[in-house]
């Protein structure tokens, strides 16, 4: 245990002395996590609302499909997207493999089922009469959706946080689509994977602490947003 502890202290020192590798990895993590959560909520919020407030043939099956996607292994997403982004794949021309944008594409696939399902659950929880009432009072469809969203903002923010936490902490997609390039696509999680490979366990744990701190700050900020 002592070797872990000593390494951990050493790692903390590196973190606080402003090791550029740590800041770079934290920065890349924030960038790709923020970007992918944003895109995933642009898909998931409307889709979740639609699923909760309408009924159509095959809705049950579609919901089960989305629930299955919640368990999509990240390495499989990484492999699939690699196939599409590789120069030999259909989107090879865009040169997105081993770039931060490449990571974001994979992360969006990971995150949109989360934002969708959370939104659907939150909106389903509202008394259906509230929606009817809003429509009866002459609110447009968009206006109604907006009112309901405000009603369940706690649930929606949970959707964003769950998605952010998931994408910030995953490692398979980031390493397969980003390539773990130092200062460019190296995220905190892929840096931890690398440090553990090198036997620098303490430093790895210190990096893990940085990641948890980032997620903690995000949760704090969103708590503030909820109260607005």
**Contact between 87 and another protein per CB under 8 A:** yes
For residue 12, the surrounding DSSP H or E stretch is helix 2-16
How many residues line the site for another protein (CB under 8 A)? 29
CB distance 11 to 207 below 8 Å: yes
Binding mask 117-156 for another protein (x = CB under 8 A): --------------------------------x-------
Burial class (CB in 10 A: 0-12, 13-18, 19+), 129: exposed
Q: Both tokens of residue 24?
A: 């770079």
Site residues for another protein, window 20-79 (CB under 8 A)? Answer: 31, 34-35, 38
With a CB cutoff of 8 Å and minimum separation 6, the contacts of 78 are 106, 172, 173, 175, 176, 177
What's the min distance (Å) between Cβ of 154 and another protein? 14
**Contact between 157 and another protein per CB under 8 A:** no
| Of the candidates 59, 58, 43, 51, the residue with the CA atom closest to the CA atom of residue 114 | 43
Rank residues 5 and 62 by Cβ distance to another protein and give the closer one.
5
Sign of torsion, CA 182 190 36 151? negative
The binder of another protein chosen from 16, 23, 62, 184 (CB under 8 A)? 184
Binding mask 186-205 for another protein (x = CB under 8 A): --------x-xxxxx-----
CB distance 219 to 157 below 8 Å: no
Rank residues 129 and 197 by Cβ distance to another protein and give the closer one.
197
**Contact between 222 and another protein per CB under 8 A:** no
**Contact between 180 and another protein per CB under 8 A:** yes
**Contact between 1 and another protein per CB under 8 A:** no
**Contact between 101 and another protein per CB under 8 A:** yes
Residues in the chain: 228
Cα separations (Å) of 53 from 34, 71, 78, 108, 131?
A: 28, 25, 33, 24, 9
Instruction: Give contact residues for another protein (rule: CB under 8 A).
Output: 31, 34-35, 38, 86-88, 92-93, 95, 97-98, 100-101, 149, 179-182, 184-185, 194, 196-200, 225, 228
């Amino acid at each position: 245990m002592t070797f872990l502890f000593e390494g951990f202290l050493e790692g903390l020192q590196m973190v606080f002395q402003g090791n550029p590798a740590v800041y770079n990895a934290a920065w890349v993590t924030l960038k790709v996590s923020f970007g992918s959560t944003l895109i995933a909520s642009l898909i998931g919020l409307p889709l979740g609302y639609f699923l909760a407030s309408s009924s159509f043939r095959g809705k049950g099956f579609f919901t089960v499909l989305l629930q299955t996607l919640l368990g999509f292994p990240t390495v499989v997403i990484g492999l699939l997207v690699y196939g599409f982004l590789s120069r030999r794949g259909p989107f090879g021309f865009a040169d997105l493999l081993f770039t931060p944008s490449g990571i974001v594409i994979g992360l969006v696939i990971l995150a949109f089922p989360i934002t969708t399902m959370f939104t659907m659950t939150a909106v389903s929880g509202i008394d259906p009469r509230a929606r009817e009432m809003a429509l009866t009072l002459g609110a447009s469809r968009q206006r109604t959706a907006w009112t309901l969203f405000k009603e369940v903002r706690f649930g929606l923010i949970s959707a964003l946080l769950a998605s952010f936490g998931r994408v910030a902490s995953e490692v398979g997609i980031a390493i397969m689509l980003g390539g773990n390039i130092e200062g460019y696509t190296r995220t905190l999680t892929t840096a931890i994977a690398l440090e553990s490979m090198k036997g620098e366990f303490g430093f790895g744990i210190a990096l893990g602490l940085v990641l948890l701190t980032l997620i903690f700050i995000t949760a704090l900020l969103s708590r503030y947003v909820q109260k607005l």
